[in-house]
Structures are given as structure tokens and as C-alpha cells.
């Protein structure tokens, strides 16, 4: 089963909690704090495995959660950092944040890695908070929560050349003739229901990957037919081979087919019009094909080159393959997304939380609700079982300007303030 679009949940590992501890060895007076830091949580890392061809495995496992770091220990010992969770994906996988639709990574090369969800930092033990004014603090942090969100995985087939056209124009037949691929061939529409890949080699030793995609029909960009599911695979191709049934056996006019398919490509993604296109007039061994080709050339104009072929009898295929190979040599790759950082093994995309430190809203019962990445992170890393932790959190709120912001919104003494599932009272 070919699966090229899935949604999964990922979460980086939480950091380990810092510890509150004190030295209590014999003959060591005034031992002081001895609580160690927690270990960092594991990252969720996607790695390309060229042995995979579909996203089928993600149909059965949709939740990926890295392990958390170990908690800090006494005698100043730090917790162990958690191992990263490595998830294998096929070449050509694009990872997007479901909520923001921001591209996190575009994974194309074998062994390429991208950190999708980062693990949380380990909480600091009370050793870290000792000061001359407070040499024995009973204060430690909880581990930072790891990043978590839903991501959409899209598989876009890695092919140099994409075959497009209406159903039953001979795309699968052509691929089976010029390569060792064995796509399903039948005298009915939508015989091809998944993309098929084949390696093509010309007589002069040049080679390229060709993809046979399910047939397109009018309205494909809006979800009509099967082809709309696979339009994304055309985005990676450098050259589009547009096949047209010149025999007219299906009762359609070749020129209308040509206009309709180009319109569907443009409506799906305007950047597809940047790719060079080779027009292939197939089924030239059939009656009326020559007359239809003559009329077609008159309508498209002399500036557009048309290659008459017969995939069944192999007529004209040599010239077509040479033209494709020549075009690939001068056609650059088309980037799908703007790259922020790039190295030999990794391609990463900007994926940052750009929201404010906090946001204040009102519930129906009049309570003030605090939300925001920064304030929620501080709250989750606070140990409220100790007085020092509570006081530190109050100082952090004041430094962020939460108290002043609540007053500006009309908060008065005794009003309820909510943060996540907890409630507080506002004190002047």
C-alpha cells in the first residue's frame, strides 16, 4: 500500500528534575547544598532511510515520544541525558507543523537528519542557587517540558522527470518500455493508482529517474479523481513530460487535453509552470493520429516542440529520451522551500515560537486567564511544594510584567487568575 500523507504526534523528552539535597557527612560541618541537575530530555530526530518507499509504517504508529532525562541526585551528581528517538523516513519526506503549516524539514538524502522536536533542559539542583546571601537554598527546578506538536508528513517522490496527462494516454506503457519498471497496464481509466518509478538510460549512457503518476482530470487540483492525491509528487521533478493521446479514441480533443492539464498544474501550484515541459503525442500508430497531430500543431504554434511517438511500437522514443536527457543537463533543481541552514548532511528550516511571553484573556466567569509559551514553561519548571520555589515564581511573574498587565486589564485584590489548570488569587 502506497501512503504519502500522514499526521503524527511527536514530543521531545522532558528534562529531569533538579534535586534539593545537603551534605550530611560526618566531620563536614556546614556542608551546604548538594543537589544535582537533571539530565536533558531526548530529541525526536527524523533520519532518511533509502530503503523505505512509503509512509506506511506511520499508519500503525502515530505517537512518538522521546524519553525524559534522569533526575538530579545527591552529592551534586547530575542526571543522565536521555537518548534521542530516531525515526526513519523515506527520501523525499517533507515535515510540516500542522497548526502553522511551517515547513520544519525537507529530507531527501540517505542518512540526512533533522531534529523535529527538541527535548527539554534538565532542571537545576539547589547547588546552582547558592549565593552569599542564601548559602543553603531549598530551591530546585523541575525539568523543562519537551516540545510537542502534531506534524504532517508528505512524501514527494524523488524523480527527475514526471509523466503527466489524462488517464489512458499511455504513461505506464511508456515507463515500462524505457525502463525496467513494471507498472500495471490496462485498457481502463485509473489503472495506475500509485506513483511508479523507473530508471531510464539513454544510448549514450546518461540516466535519470522517471515517475509515472496517476492520471489527471479536470478539477484535479480541487480533489477530483485520483490524480489530486499525487500532484505533490510533480513538485520535485525538474522536467515534465506531458503525454497526449493523439488518436482521439477517448472522444476528447488533444488540444483541449493539453490546455486542461496545464491549467490543473497551474491551479495546484503556480511554480510548476517554471518547469520545462516536453509535449509527447502518443499513439501515433492509430488511425486519425496524423491528422489530429497536424491540427494540434496549428493550435499550439510552431514555437512549441512536439514529439510524435508510439509507446507500443517504440516509434520515436530514442529522440524523446535524448531530448529529456539534454534538458535535464541544463535545468537546475527547483527548491520547494526557503532553506535557513544547510550542511552536507542536514537541511533545517526556521521553526521558532514567535508568540509573546504571555497573553491575558477573560473567562465567562470573570477570571483572568494567563497563557503563552514562556509563562507556561516557567510554571511547569517551578516546584510549588517548596516556599522558595513559590517566591521565585512570583518574582519571575513580576519581571515579565504580569502584575502590571493584570492591573491594566482591571484586576483587583482577590480576583481569580488561571494558568493552565491551576487557579491563583491576585494580591495587591
pTM equals: 0.72
pLDDT of 249 = 78
13 is in an annotated binding site: no
**Which pairs count as long-range contacts for 413-421, CB under 8 Å and 24+ apart, including other chains?**
415/366, 415/367, 415/368, 416/365, 416/366, 416/367, 416/368, 417/367, 417/368, 417/369, 417/370, 418/363, 418/367, 418/368, 418/369, 418/370, 419/369, 419/370, 419/371, 419/375, 419/376, 419/379, 420/376, 420/379
Answer yes or no: is 212 a known binding residue.
Answer: yes
**Model confidence pLDDT, tens digit, residues 320-350:** 899 999 998 888 876 665 544 444 444 555 4
136 is in an annotated binding site: no
Asked if residue 381 belongs to a known ligand binding site, the reply is no
Mapped onto helix, strand or coil, the DSSP state of residue 236 is helix
Q: Which residues, in sequence order, are CB contacts of 426 under 8 Å at separation 6+?
A: 368, 406, 411, 412, 413, 414, 415, 416, 417
Q: Which segments of the chain have a pLDDT < 70?
A: 1-2, 181, 183-194, 215, 217-232, 270, 334-356
Confirm whether residue 312 is marked as ligand binding: yes
Annotated binding residue 167: yes
194 is known to lie in a ligand binding site = yes
Q: Is 340 among the annotated ligand-binding positions?
A: no
Q: What pLDDT sits at residue 204?
A: 87
Domains parsed from the chain with CATH numbers: 1-155+336-352 (2.70.210.12), 161-330 (3.40.50.300), 359-425 (3.30.300.350)
Amino acid at each position: 500500500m502506497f501512503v504519502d500523507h500522514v499526521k503524527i504526534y511527536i514530543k521531545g523528552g522532558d528534562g529531569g528534575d533538579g534535586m534539593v539535597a545537603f551534605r550530611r557527612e560526618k566531620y563536614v560541618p556546614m556542608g551546604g547544598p548538594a543537589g544535582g541537575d537533571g539530565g536533558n530530555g531526548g530529541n525526536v530526530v527524523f533520519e532518511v532511510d533509502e530503503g523505505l518507499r512509503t509512509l506506511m509504517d506511520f499508519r500503525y504508529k502515530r505517537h512518538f515520544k522521546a524519553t525524559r532525562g534522569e533526575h538530579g541526585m545527591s552529592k551534586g551528581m547530575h542526571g543522565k541525558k536521555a537518548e534521542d528517538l530516531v525515526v526513519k523516513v523515506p527520501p523525499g519526506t517533507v515535515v510540516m507543523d500542522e497548526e502553522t503549516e511551517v515547513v520544519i524539514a525537507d529530507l531527501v538524502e540517505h542518512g540526512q537528519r533533522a531534529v523535529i522536536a527538541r527535548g527539554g533542559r534538565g532542571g537545576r539542583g539547589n547547588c546552582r542557587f547558592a549565593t552569599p546571601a542564601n548559602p543553603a537554598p531549598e530551591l530546585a527546578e523541575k525539568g523543562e517540558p519537551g516540545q510537542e506538536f502534531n506534524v504532517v508528513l508528505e512524501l514527494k517522490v524523488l524523480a527527475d522527470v514526471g509523466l503527466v496527462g489524462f488517464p489512458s494516454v499511455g504513461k505506464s506503457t511508456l515507463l515500462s518500455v524505457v525502463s525496467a519498471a513494471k507498472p500495471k497496464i490496462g485498457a481502463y481509466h485509473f489503472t495506475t493508482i500509485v506513483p511508479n518509478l523507473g530508471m531510464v538510460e539513454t544510448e549514450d549512457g546518461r540516466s535519470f529517474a522517471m515517475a509515472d503518476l496517476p492520471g489527471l482530470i479536470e478539477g484535479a487540483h480541487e480533489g477530483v479523481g485520483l490524480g489530486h492525491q499525487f500532484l505533490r509528487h510533480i513538485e520535485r521533478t525538474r522536467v515534465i513530460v506531458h503525454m497526449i493521446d493523439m488518436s482521439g479514441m477517448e472522444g476528447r480533443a488533444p488540444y483541449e487535453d493539453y490546455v486542461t492539464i496545464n491549467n490543473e498544474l497551474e491551479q495546484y501550484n503556480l511554480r510548476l509552470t517554471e518547469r520545462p515541459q516536453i509535449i509527447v503525442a502518443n499513439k501515433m500508430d492509430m488511425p486519425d493520429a496524423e491528422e489530429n497531430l497536424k491540427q494540434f500543431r496549428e493550435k499550439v504554434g510552431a514555437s512549441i516542440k512536439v514529439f510524435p511517438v508510439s509507446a507500443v511500437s517504440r516509434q520515436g522514443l530514442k529522440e524523446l529520451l535524448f531530448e529529456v536527457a539534454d534538458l535535464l543537463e541544463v535545468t537546475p533543481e527547483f527548491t520547494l522551500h526557503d532553506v535557513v541552514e544547510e550542511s552536507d548532511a542536514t537541511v533545517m528550516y526556521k521553526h521558532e515560537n514567535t508568540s509573546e511571553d504571555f497573553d491575558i484573556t477573560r473567562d465567562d466567569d470573570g477570571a483572568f486567564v494567563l497563557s503563552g509559551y514562556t509563562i507556561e514553561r516557567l510554571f511547569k519548571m517551578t516546584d510549588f511544594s517548596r516556599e522558595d520555589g513559590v517566591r521565585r515564581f512570583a518574582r519571575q511573574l513580576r519581571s515579565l510584567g504580569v502584575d502590571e498587565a493584570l492591573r491594566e486589564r482591571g484586576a483587583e485584590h482577590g480576583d481569580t487568575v488561571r494558568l493552565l489548570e491551576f487557579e491563583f488569587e491576585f494580591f495587591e
